[in-house]
Structures are given as structure tokens and as C-alpha cells.
Amino acid sequence: MKKKVLVLALSAVIAGSGAAMAPAFAAGNGPDVNGNQTVQTAMLTTYNEMADFLKKEAAKQERLELEVIGQTVKGRDLFLAKYITNPENPTILYLTQQHGNEAMTTEGALDYIRHLGSGSKKVNEMLDNVNILIVPMLNADGAMGDVNFPLDNYMASGRHLTRFNADRVDLNRDHVNKVTPEVQALHQNVLQKYKIDYMIDFHHQGTQEDYFGKLTTGALLTPQSPDVAPEVALNSKKLATVLYEGVDKTGWAFLLKFDEPTTNSAVASNAMALQYDIPVILFEMRGMADHSYEPYVLGQKSNGYLIKQAFLAMESTAKAIADGSIDSADPSVYDNLPEQHYSY
Ligand SMILES: [Zn+2]
């Protein structure tokens, strides 16, 4: 009985958003692997394809500058895609695929880079008022399954993708010690080099996070360390509200608060706030591209929605920073989001 009441209460909260009219098949209720489909990774952008794409776009797009910020353990160049019209403008950093098997985040970033080069008046006006930094596929070795440990028990057929870097280190636990070349590159050549006002760290979670039976398409979390400066915490919540509203208005997305609030200062969402006073959010999207544990792996049928969701997360936040509307975003929208459940 109690469960039903809570479901109804949530329905009331989201009714105005159009979520009640979500199509029957969306990223949230799309199928997980569940023994019914093979997991294909062949359609995912490879590292080499990404590098070629970025170089081509940088040659074509006047406003885009591409910088190599370092190399992975296996020697792959790590890229920073920069749109800096005026150094005085506010700057946002989008980071994807610290975990190599969380791939739609990068696909969304590449779509967004293509969009930023569209030449449309609206996009160019936005780029006059916000600087955008994008570090896609930070864990390029893990994304390509080119690692110094076996992945034989992973689910995907074809190319494997893994959370860890080539030396089996979790990059998103390395932001204090900074032992990996990938995290060193990010800190030395991005975080310590540019004045960054906002950041979103893009990830994927499992496939079964839900709210009383309704699967989420994603989850948000602001820095949880008690030592984060109050203003940084507040601006993180405003950023979360802008992302939530930008994605939620599609009607098919279902975002809640992430259910594993960690105060670990070595994860990016806390580390960036603590070390650089950057308002930051962790954005977790549904389902991983590959893993040894089946309930984490989402089949490719939801890829389109998830790529769009990552794209919208970037588009809505960059716009709100450019036009200043982020300043009046209501942090209580984020505060009042229920926490998703983790049902495994
Ligand atoms: Zn992750």
C-alpha cells in the first residue's frame, strides 16, 4: 500500500513534464540483455574513428581547437576539444568515459561537437557567451579493451570494453593520488590550466535502477563531501536542475537522484569541487556497453535514446550558462528529486 502511494506521489510530480506520455519503448523501459539478445559493440565509435573525427572537425570548424593533453598507458593520444571564444566567458567542462565500458557518453559528446560546428546562428550566439571544453573517452585503452588483463568473461561479442585502464586502475578513484597517465593529463593540462566554472562527469550505471518498478534513464548527483564549499555545492545543484529540466522535458527520459552518495574525495565529482572549487555533477546513464556481470549490460537497442540524453545534457547546460539563466535555476528541483533504487 505504501509503495502505491509513493508511486502516485511521484506521478504527480512528473505529470507536468510529459513523462506520463512516454512511448512504450524508451531508454528506461527498453530491454536489458536478459538472455534475449547478443551484445554487439561493433557500432560503437572506436578510438581511431574518434581521433579521425576530431581532427576532421577541428580542420573544418573555425571555433574548434583540438589539443592533445597526454597519452594513455598504451600510448593513445588523449584529446581536449576546445571552444574558447573569449577567455572571460564562463567555461564548462564535459568529461566522458573515465570508465571505458560507459560508451554512449562519448557518442553523445561527438554528436554535440558535430552540432557545435553546424554554423547555425543560435549555436554561434551561444558560443559567443560560453566556453566549452570536452574531454571524450578519457579511458581510451579500456574503451578499446586493450588492457593488461583478460576480458574473456565479458558479455559482448566482438570488441570488449572495460571500466578499468590498461593497468586495471579505476580512473574515477584516482583523483587524489593521480597515479595514472590519463588522470595526470586531465589534471595537469585541463583542470590546472583553464579556469573552469562548471563540470559534468558522464557515466553509465546498471540497467535495473528504478523507482518502484519504473526504470530510470539516468541519475544525478552533486558533490557529497562535507568539505565542499557551500557556494560550490549550491551551484552544483543549480547545474543539476538545469540538466534535469533540459532532459526531462523530452517526455521519454526519467531522471532521479543517484542512490550511492559517496563522500570519497578520489572520485571526480568530489575531487573537482574540493581541489578546484568547480561546481560539478555526476551524471549516470542507464546500462553499460560491456561487463562480466549481465545485469549491468544494456543491449544496443536503447543506444539512440541514451546518446540523445547525453547530447541534451550538454546542450541544456551550455545554453543556460551562455544566457545566464543558470543563475536563477531552482536548486530545490534537484534537492526534491527522489533517490532511485538499486534492485539487483
Ligand atoms: Zn562510471
CA 35 to centroid of ligand 1, rounded, Å: 24
Q: How far is the CA of 105 from the centre of ligand 1 (A)?
A: 10
pLDDT value for 27: 66
The pLDDT of residue 158: 87
Q: What is the pLDDT of residue 30?
A: 66
Which pTM value belongs to this model? 0.91
Query: What is the CA(116)–ligand 1 centre distance, in A?
Result: 25
pLDDT of residue 119: 94
For the domain covering 2-342, report its CATH number.
3.40.630.10
* Distance in Å, CA 204 to ligand 1 centroid: 5
Which residues touch 314 (CB under 8 Å, ≥6 apart)? 94, 108, 109, 112, 200
What is the 202 CA–ligand 1 centroid distance (Å)?
Answer: 7
Q: How far is the CA of 172 from the centre of ligand 1 (A)?
A: 7
Rounded to whole angstroms, the Cα distance separating 196 from 193 reads: 9
| Ligand 1: centre distance to CA 339 (Å) | 18
Q: What is the mean pLDDT of each run of 10 residues along the chain (344 residues)?
A: 38 39 55 70 95 98 98 98 97 98 97 97 98 98 98 92 98 98 98 98 92 92 98 98 97 95 97 98 94 87 92 98 98 97 74
**Cα of 278 to ligand 1 centre, how many Å?**
19
Ligand 1 center to 115 CA (angstroms): 25
| Torsion sign across C-alpha atoms 331, 209, 106, 309 | negative
Residue 216 main-chain phi, psi, to 5 deg: -85, 150
Helices assigned H by DSSP within the chain: 2-15, 47-60, 104-116, 121-127, 140-143, 181-186, 230-248, 268-276, 303-322, 331-335
Residue type, position 325, single letter: S
Q: How far away, in angstroms, is 217 Cα from ligand 1 center?
A: 15
Q: Ligand 1 centroid vs 18 CA: distance in angstroms? A: 29
CA 61–ligand 1 middle distance (angstroms): 30
Q: How far is the CA of 283 from the centre of ligand 1 (A)?
A: 9
